[in-house]
Amino acid sequence: MKILMLTWEYPPRIVGGIARVVHDLSHRMIKDGHEVTVITYKDGNAPYVEDDKGVKVYRVDNYMINPNNFIDWIMQLNFNMLAKANEIISKEGKFDVIHAHDWLVTYAAKALKESYKIPIVATIHATENGRNSGIHDETQRYINDTEWMLTYEATEVIVNSNYMKNELQRIFGLPFEKINVIPNGINLTNFSGVERDYDFRRQFAMDNEKIILYVGRLVYEKGVQNLIGAMPKILSNYHDAKLVICGKGGMMDELKQEARNLGIENKVYFAGYCDSKKIQKMYKCADIAVFPSTYEPFGIVALEAMLAGVPTVVSDVGGLNEIVEHGVDGMKSYAGNSNSIADSVLTLLFDAKLCSAVSKNAVKKVKEMYSWNKIAQDTHYVYEQAICQTEAQKQAERIAQEKAEKTKRSQNPAKELGNLLTFRKRNAYAWF
């Protein structure tokens, strides 16, 4: 099967979780014998064309026009994605399926579908409505409408949790049978050979301090502000603790100021952006990982922490709520509640036996339920469904067209008789 992945982020460009999902899924598909082509945005020094262990990666710039806003930037990106896809198809033939990841590639996917009759499978990783607890301005409305367009144009839609399935049905009115729940996966070899490095750890905390780790973007819906708000209670009960925050985002300055306001700036370390190798080392150095999101369709970072064997605390929202079973393979806290976060963290800090148990159970769960082997198989099945539906639709359209033409002929018998007589006359004269 020839698969085209459209995504605005792909390693080394990593904005959120989409990049890792597309990367890992593509490589699993290659191992299963499929051909995978990725078209994405070129960022930094990444090559325009790359053979990434069998995955063909094409990166495009925007037009050399300064966009007025983010929406214009996205439109320019789609134009160049479309141009690149047309170029590839003209040389190598068309793809069997287009896998479009989120609203940012909607227009390129739609144009390719209409031009080449290729089915779209769309993965909706999050919604604008969910991120913002509603639609509050025209930009958000535009994004929301574009998300709807993508789900409408797609033959099949994939989401990563039952929470997201319900959200799409509620917001866009999608029929349940069109929405497929396939969780994000994780590379089970991510932490092979990675051990706790004490010299590395000492960059962030003293040996006697327990590291409470957060990994992710510094934006409101990730709830980092609530985690910082939990630290005074944590530190008043367990002084030898240190919060390490790995990530960047628009709230960086606000969060630093909040730590100063609470008088805990010496107990909060902002590590900034961390690449994948550094994050792996951070997980191995951490004693507890906390993901306090107020909105989270899935939460792949929680899987990473669990696979690394780090006792994990998550908020009881979205996909996070489905990943962790409280007290069995992790702990939960009430979303947006600093006091609840503190209670869950303190429970783990004071109970080494519980930490050991939840860590072992978490590793087992991730290996059994979130392997890319199974996820790729489930995704391939969705591709086949989309292709079959598209072919059935084409056949139905051909039958309808033939029927319409037959009906049109039958409605004009005089013309049909004249055509028949003319045909017979021509054949009669052919004998002379």
Say which residues have a Cβ less than 8 Å from residue 213's Cβ, sequence separation at least 6.
244, 246, 282, 283, 285, 286, 288, 289, 290, 305, 310
Residue 387 has a CB neighbour count (10 Å cut-off) of 18
**What sign does the CA torsion over 247, 249, 252, 254 have?**
negative
pLDDT-based confidence at residue 398 (cuts at 50, 70, 90): confident
The per-residue pLDDT for range 6-61, each reduced to its tens digit, is 999 999 998 878 998 999 999 999 999 999 999 999 988 999 999 999 999 999 99
Residue type, 309: G
Residue 426 in this model has a pLDDT that exceeds 80: no
- Of 429 and 329, the structure prediction assigns the larger pLDDT to 329
Superfamily of domain 198-358: Glycogen Phosphorylase B; (3.40.50.2000)
Residue 190 in this model has a pLDDT that exceeds 90: no
Q: The whole model's pTM is what?
A: 0.80
**Separation between Cα atoms, residue 75 and residue 145, nearest integer Å:** 15
Per-residue confidence (pLDDT) for residue 40, from 0 to 100: 97
Mean pLDDT of 254-268: 96
- Of 131 and 242, the structure prediction assigns the larger pLDDT to 242
Do residues 270 and 227 lie in contact, with contact meaning Cβ atoms separated by under 8 Å?
no
Strand partners, 210: 241
Per-residue confidence (pLDDT) for residue 239, from 0 to 100: 95
Phi/psi for 133 (5° steps) reads: 55, 45
pLDDT-based confidence at residue 415 (cuts at 50, 70, 90): low
pLDDT-based confidence at residue 299 (cuts at 50, 70, 90): confident
Per-residue confidence (pLDDT) for residue 419, from 0 to 100: 62
pLDDT-based confidence at residue 400 (cuts at 50, 70, 90): confident
pLDDT-based confidence at residue 432 (cuts at 50, 70, 90): very low
pLDDT-based confidence at residue 417 (cuts at 50, 70, 90): low
- Of 205 and 420, the structure prediction assigns the larger pLDDT to 205
Q: Helix-strand-coil percent breakdown of the chain, rounded to 5?
A: 55, 15, 30
Per-residue confidence (pLDDT) for residue 421, from 0 to 100: 57
Mean pLDDT of 193-216: 94
Same fold, 2-181 and 198-358: yes
Residue 86 in this model has a pLDDT that exceeds 80: yes
Distances (CA, A) of 202 to 80, 211, 283: 46, 11, 14
Mean pLDDT of 206-235: 96
Phi/psi for 267 (5° steps) reads: -110, 10
Residue type, 276: S
Percent of the chain with pLDDT over 90: 77
Per-residue confidence (pLDDT) for residue 420, from 0 to 100: 55
Mean pLDDT of 154-165: 95
Per-residue confidence (pLDDT) for residue 64, from 0 to 100: 64
Per-residue confidence (pLDDT) for residue 222, from 0 to 100: 94
**What sign does the CA torsion over 65, 7, 154, 219 have?**
negative
Per-residue confidence (pLDDT) for residue 393, from 0 to 100: 81
Distances (CA, A) of 70 to 67, 73, 75: 7, 5, 9
Does the domain made of 2-181 have the CATH classification 3.30.2130.30?
A: no
Per-residue confidence (pLDDT) for residue 276, from 0 to 100: 84
**What sign does the CA torsion over 273, 9, 183, 26 have?**
negative
Per-residue confidence (pLDDT) for residue 416, from 0 to 100: 59
Any idea where the domains of the chain sit in the sequence?
A: 2-181, 198-358
Percent of the chain with pLDDT over 70: 94
